[in-house]
Amino acid sequence: GAVVSQHPSRVICKSGTSVKIECRSLDFQATTMFWYRQFPKQSLMLMATSNEGSKATYEQGVEKDKFLINHASLTLSTLTVTSAHPEDSSFYICSARVSRDTEAFFGQGTRLTVV
């Protein structure tokens, strides 16, 4: 099946710095990618929908200036956590879907720890 690669798998950063997470579709073109966040023992929370060549659509309550999303090509979307704080520590996962009648493919996830 299709593969979505997410990098890095783990990152530790200092408070106030920014961190970039990459999500690549390796064998298909993804006009739309999704970014999720998962808190411990909780569900996947959709943060934003990333559209190639246009601005991302953010879910209610997600700060777009805090979580910058760029979808510069059909195979790459990036999420940048700006001015990170300890409360941003979480597990971030991207996914891509070819069409609305097929499954979504997920990246491996990124464990972000802000110290």
Partner 1 sequence: DQQVKQNSPSLSVQEGRISILNCDYTNSMFDYFLWYKKYPAEGPTFLISISSIKDKNEDGRFTVFLNKSAKHLSLHIVPSQPGDSAVYFCAASSPRGGSNYKLTFGKGTLLTVNP
Binding mask 6-45 for partner 1 (x = CB under 8 A): x------------------------xx-x-------xxx-
What Cα–Cα distance (Å) separates residue 79 from each residue in 24, 61, 103? 12, 16, 22
**Local structure of 88: helix, strand or coil:** helix
Q: Which of 78, 53, 83 is nearest to 68 (CA)?
A: 78
- Residue 113 near partner 1 by CB under 8 A: no
Q: Which is nearer to partner 1, 31 or 80 (CB)?
A: 31
Binding mask 54-83 for partner 1 (x = CB under 8 A): ------------------------------
Residues paired with 24 in a beta bridge: 5, 76
CB of 6 to partner 1, least distance (A): 7
